Structure 1
């Protein structure tokens, strides 16, 4: 574009994920529990240690189970 603004480049950067991030998401998506219409995953000390996360970083995955069919996440 003439003004140097390239939306595709911005979107590409915004959607980048690290390999570690994908591995954490994969673990959550592979091991969540379902009770009725509620989906949840417990992040315990072992999980934090396995992925070298602290509780603040782990909290970034709070919406990993959101928007799966008509279920709620907790």
Structure 2
């Protein structure tokens, strides 16, 4: 896989994903991703992006100001 920004190569990695929902800040740790070895650009595959959306929606419903959660593959988590 080649980076669309710099043409570098991607490697599998993990990252911390931040989302500001105005009413709260969500931090998801240890998210699987692809990271460019050259410029550091981060991309997610479709399954990870869908899981992140579900995690963020679940946390946003809790109405907390700041939430720090671990990424899990399980939809029940």
Q: TM-score, length-normalised on structure 1?
A: 0.35
Q: Which has the higher strand share?
A: 2
